[in-house]
Each structure stands twice: as structure tokens, then as C-alpha cells.
Amino acid sequence: MTTHDKDRQEFLRLAGLATPMALRVAVTLGLPDRLSGEGAAAVDLAAELGQSPLALDLLLGHLTTLGVLERTSTGYRTTEYGAKLRADAGNGLAGLLDMNAAGGRGELAFVELAHSIATGQAGYIRRYGKDFWADLAENPHLRETFDRQMTQRFLTQVPRFVAGFDWSRFGTLVDVGGGHGSLLAAILKANPSMRGHLVDLAPTAAVAEKEMREQGLEDRAEVTAGSFFDPLPGGADAYLLSDILHDWDDEHAHRVLARCAEAAHPAGRVLVIEAVGGLGAQTEWDLVMLVLYGGRERRLDELRELAAAHGLVFDSVTTLTEQRSLLEFRLQDIP
């Protein structure tokens, strides 16, 4: 095979949609879970799941080629490799691929990438008739799967977030849009003298409150149901925005930073954990943020400019992981 032919095959592999969609459909149907153990025959599985027997067998055949399934004397069963796609695998893949979950549903908006490139706007609203956040608000199942996805996403990184920065400098920390509270809980447990306050929308805040009780932190951690577009609890030493700003266009990012700046006391800090362009952010995620939210992985100078509009002066950047950095801002000194 010539180099030209190899390049052509590689481009087709990169651009092909059959395999990515086959994996998404498999997870959405629960095939890796259902076919664990002894497995099942295609015709029986089709009747059970309400699928076309012929079409389902074609899907199972391709999944076998990929090594996700294997043929048996009675049908198909999940391989050890394919078991990584099970809902109970603990790696978050099922939530990201399931088209009935927030992550999988969001990925389908990539069919509108051309629209996003032409307009600079999210493709999600073009596909579904509402933006990502409105969709979550109207569908509790999507909200639940999104929160779970965010918790899973940080699972391996939280220890490095905690160890990579001196959180003990702050007596009080407000985690703005803190999700289920896994990061705040870890920070508080590592720094017994600190107190924390988490703010997130009501359904998420309810789970975070339970998390704090289970971690034995109810005496040092307060949870408030609310939006980061509304006034935040005032007077804390630091306000943390972890993977928040990249979810929004500049107009909304300004609104979030404005709330942090107005809430902080004069010596307070605003801490931004993000994948920063040029400092570890992956270009693929620029497109994910654009298509889903109309956002992007901003570069350091862009984040500095956003913050400066609200009297926030850039102090320092700390590398936490290969992908994420922590940017520290202080309120501008008043003469």
C-alpha cells in the first residue's frame, strides 16, 4: 500500500461515523450490560428490545469486529474489552455515549458543527430547539446524568487539585456552581480549619447537601440553591469557578465573574480552574464547548481580559494537571 493510500485510509478512519455511532447505539440499548455472562442470540435480543432482527444482527456483527462482543454457539456476548462500556464499569463511558444521557445527547449536536463555525453559536439549540441548560432544566433525567458525568470526570483529578494548590490560605471558600460537591469536600477534608459554601441549582444542591453530610462536613459546609447569575454569598476569602467559564459565551462569562467580584471582600480572591488554551487545553474541546454551549477553552490573555472588566487583576497561574490550570485573581487595589 502506498503512502497516498495509507493517508486516504487514515482520513476515512478519522472521519467515518459508522463506528462512533455503533458504539453509541450499543450503549444506549444497554448491549454491553445485557450481553454479559452467557449472552444472547440476535433474534431473541431483537424481540426483547423491540429492534429489527436483521439490523440488530448487523450492529452486533460490527461490534464483534471491534472486539466489543464475541460470537458464541448461541449468539453474542460481551468481551472483557467490551465490559468497559457497561453502566457499572466505573469509568463514566456509558454516560458519555448513552444518547439518552446529557453527554451522549450533547455529542449528537455535532451534526450542526458547520452552523456553529458559520455563526459562532452553539449547535445544540439548532438541533434541539433549546439551549443545553434549558434542556437540563426541563428534563430531570438529563440534569441527573450531567451532574453524575461531571463528578465522574473529576474523580481522578480531585486529589491533584487539592494537593497542587495551597487552599489553607483561605478561611472561607465559596464553590460557585460546585456540582455534587466532590471537590469542595476534598478541599475541606484536607484543610480542617477551612469552611466552605457551595452554590448550585436546586436539584444539584440537594445532592451536594447529602454529600456533605455523608462526608461528615455539615458543620463546616453550607449549601445554597441558586444560580451563579444571581447574587452570591458575600464576604468569603475566595470564590472558586471550576470548569464554569468555558461553558459560556463572553456575555455570560462576564456575568458570572461580575457576581464573584461583587461578592468578594476587598482582600478576596477569585480562583478559576480551567483547561487554558496554550497551557494544556485540547483543541478538540474547543469544538465541544462551541457546539454544546457556544463557549471555548480561552487563552490566558482572554481570561485576564474578561476578569479585568470586573476589577479583577491576574495574580498567578498554577498547573494542576496536564489539562487544567488554576488562575488566581485579586480585586484591584483602590487608590
Question: Any idea of the CA torsion for 202, 162, 293, 239, to the nearest 10 degrees?
Answer: 60
pLDDT tens per residue across span 45-85: 999 999 999 999 999 999 999 999 999 999 999 999 999 99
pLDDT for the residue numbered 335: 42
The residues facing 153 across adjacent strands are none
Polymer length of the chain: 335
Q: Is the pLDDT of residue 189 over 50?
A: yes
- Superfamily of domain 153-331 in CATH is Vaccinia Virus protein VP39 (3.40.50.150)
Q: Which residues contact 219 (CB under 8 A, 6 or more apart)?
A: none
pLDDT tens per residue across span 232-243: 999 999 999 999
Q: Within 10 Å of residue 324's Cβ, how many Cβ atoms?
A: 22
Burial 130-161 (b: 16+ CB within 10 A, else e): ebbbebbeeeeebbbbbbbbbbbebeebbeeb
pLDDT band for position 34 (50/70/90)? very high
pLDDT tens per residue across span 103-121: 999 999 999 999 999 999 9
Span 227-252, average pLDDT: 96
* Class at the top of the CATH hierarchy for domain 102-151: mainly alpha
* Class at the top of the CATH hierarchy for domain 3-96: mainly alpha
pLDDT tens per residue across span 262-307: 999 889 999 999 999 988 889 999 999 999 999 999 999 999 999 9
Q: Is the pLDDT of residue 334 over 60?
A: no
Question: If DSSP codes are grouped into helix, strand and coil, which group holds residue 276?
Answer: coil
pLDDT for the residue numbered 333: 65
pLDDT for the residue numbered 170: 97
Q: Is the pLDDT of residue 140 over 90?
A: yes
Can you tell me the distance from the alpha carbon of 305 to that of 312, in angstroms, rounded to the nearest whole number? 9
pLDDT for the residue numbered 16: 92
pLDDT for the residue numbered 152: 82
pLDDT for the residue numbered 90: 86
pLDDT tens per residue across span 172-182: 999 999 999 99
Instruction: Find out whether 294 and 248 touch, Cβ atoms under 8 Å.
Output: yes
Instruction: Find out whether 43 and 53 touch, Cβ atoms under 8 Å.
Output: yes
- Catalytic residue IDs: 246
Round the average pLDDT of the chain to a whole number and report it: 94
Question: Residue 234 burial by CB count (10 A; 0-12/13-18/19+): exposed, middle or buried?
Answer: exposed
Domain boundaries, the chain: 3-96, 102-151, 153-331
pLDDT for the residue numbered 332: 81
Percent of the chain clearing pLDDT 90 (strictly above): 87
